[in-house]
Amino acid sequence: MSSQGNKGVSGTSAGVAGATVAAVLGQMAHAQGSDRIRVGMLGCGGRGNGAIQNCLDADPGVEIIALADLFESQAKGTRDRFMKNEKYKDRIKVNDDHIFSGFDCHEKIAKCEAELLLMATAPAFRGRQLMAAIKAGKHVFTEKPVGTDVAGCKEVMEASRLAKEKNLAIVAGTQRRHQAGYVETMKRIHDGAIGELVGGQCYWYGDGIWFHGVPEKVQMSELEWQVYNWYHFTWLSGDQICEQHIHNIDVMNWCFNGPPAKFTAVGGRQWRSSNPEQVKTAKEVCGKFNNGSEENWEKYNGDIWDHIYAEFEYPNGARCLSFSGHSPGSGRNGEKIVGTKGSSDCNRGITGENAWSFQGGGIDPMVQEHKDLIASIRSGKPLNEGQRVAESTLTAIAARMAACTGRTFTWKWLMGASKLELVPRDVKPGPGLFHKIATGRDELV
């Protein structure tokens, strides 16, 4: 990093460079006598494939030795894809007995000899998967979000405590925390460059998202199809606010060094239910699982909303806007934090009394996060972002709960009293798990 000569490059990066030196000096806890890091991938969808590449790019010592997915075809397809790639094929060392599938594939992969597991399965299962990995002594890179309900996030918090005890690393795919522009800007915000924080906004508003039918060549049950089409079911994805907007919410929490104290929100599903392409696919799926009958197709159309407008009240009283959703032809993504002496986009600079702008530098943050993770493992000072990403995931979940119920509640209530648990402990192939679309005045659990 320092070889790039950018003054703007973050303290984190400098720390990483230092850590790498330490690694060269041979303080490697991870694999005695070698700078090799054996990596297993859990969840071989789009993001999983991306994470493998990011991890391979981050460090030459990385070798992929195991792949796991609910569907064997996904895991094998991922191996084939990387084996065809000249750049990576020498570091793909996945034997057939290291291809794991099924709903218990996380338990199987936890038993293999990998030192580091990457996780990119549907967010619903992250808590139990992370717990299994930490218990088995693995370092973990986990994609965000890390849960879809309160119980799942608490399990992540528990696993993080355990990781700390066992000196294991947990890094999360909220890559802005590893992006030089954010890191540098945030340092200034925390040093008071914009004064006391009194407000802010964050947005992730996009065009829409894929909707998967049942693939021709794969045999799957209803429930497996739901997992394959996970984005569209709240119990699996946490809804868009949780799945995507968590990035921006995490930045707001970063500004305030912790989660909000109070939540109020409105939201709904105004166009997804009538989106013609999606309806067509949902009817086809219905037909496949019901002997050709499309009569009760609506439940196959998913239950997530398409917009949530939330207010976060932070412990110091500042009220911030969270603006998220999908609809055709829209795009908005970012953050703004407002203080008594200026404001900032949290990334490119600061306006006001202490105006400053980030001069560039740093590498792809989705690679940087793996570099930081690996360096921390090698230095014997493992990063642990588990508690933090669980808090940001819970912040998104809380906003969704406030919108779905029409209630205003506190973080204290959420942590102490909420019993929200959407994911069954025993998930197996079989009938789907369908919920009614939230009404805006559902019961607060």
Total binding residues for another protein by CB under 8 A?
50
Q: Nearest approach, Cβ of 199 to another protein (angstroms)?
A: 3
Report if residue 309 touches another protein, rule: CB under 8 A. yes
State which of residues 181, 238, 325, 365 lies at the interface with another protein (CB under 8 A): 325
As measured in angstroms, the least distance from the Cβ of 406 to another protein is 3
> At closest approach, how far in Å is the CB of 408 from another protein?
4
Q: Which is nearer to another protein, 205 or 356 (CB)?
A: 205
Q: How many C-beta atoms lie closer than 10 Å to residue 77's C-beta?
A: 14
Which listed range, 46-54, 156-164, 174-182, 309-317, lies at the site for another protein (CB under 8 A)? 309-317
Q: Which is nearer to another protein, 192 or 317 (CB)?
A: 317
- How are beta strands 139-142 and 170-172 bridged, if at all? parallel
Q: Is 354 in the site for another protein (CB under 8 A)?
A: no
* Token pair belonging to 410: 């506190």
Q: What is the 3-state secondary structure (H, E, C) of 35-92?
A: CCEEEEEECCCHHHHHHHHHHHHHCCCEEEEEEEECCHHHHHHHHHHHHCCCCCHHHE
Among 289, 323, 356, 434, binds another protein (CB under 8 A): 323
If one asks whether residue 407 binds another protein (CB under 8 A), the answer comes out as yes
Torsion of CA 74, 78, 84, 89, to 10 degrees: -150
Cβ proximity to another protein, 52 vs 398, nearer residue: 398
Q: How far is the CB of 62 from another protein (least distance, A)?
A: 32
Buried b (16+ CB within 10 A) or exposed e, 122-154: bbbbbbbbbbbbbebebbbbbbbbbbbbbbbbb
Does residue 336 belong to the site contacting another protein (CB under 8 A)? yes
* Cα distance between the two ends of the chain: 47
Q: Minimum CB separation from another protein for residue 440, in Å?
A: 4
- Does position 199 interact with another protein (CB under 8 A)? The reply is yes
Alpha carbon 76 to chain centroid, angstroms: 23
In the set 373, 405, 422, 427, which binds another protein (CB under 8 A)?
405
Closest separation in Å from C-beta 201 to another protein: 5
Give 444's DSSP letter.
P
Count of residues in the chain: 445
The H or E element spanning position 246 is helix 246-256
CB-based burial label for 445 (10 Å; 0-12, 13-18, 19+): middle
341 in contact with another protein (CB under 8 A): yes
Q: How far apart are CA 11 and CA 17, in angstroms?
A: 10
In the numeric block, the tokens 């996970």 are attached to 230
Extract the tokens encoding 326: 């999908």
Q: In whole angstroms, how close is the CB of 332 to another protein at the nearest point?
A: 5
Distance between CA atoms of residues 153 and 126, nearest Å: 8
Q: Is 154 in the site for another protein (CB under 8 A)?
A: no
413 binds another protein (CB under 8 A): no
CB atoms within 10 A of CB 237: 23
Residues 266-285 that bind another protein (CB under 8 A): 266-271, 274-275
Tell me: does residue 307 bind another protein (CB under 8 A): yes
Q: Is 81 in the site for another protein (CB under 8 A)?
A: no
Q: Which one among 73, 333, 354, 359 touches another protein, defined by CB under 8 A?
A: 333
Residues within the interface to another protein (CB under 8 A): 195, 198-199, 201, 203, 205, 264-271, 274-275, 306-311, 317-319, 321, 323, 325, 327-334, 336, 338-341, 343, 405-408, 438-441
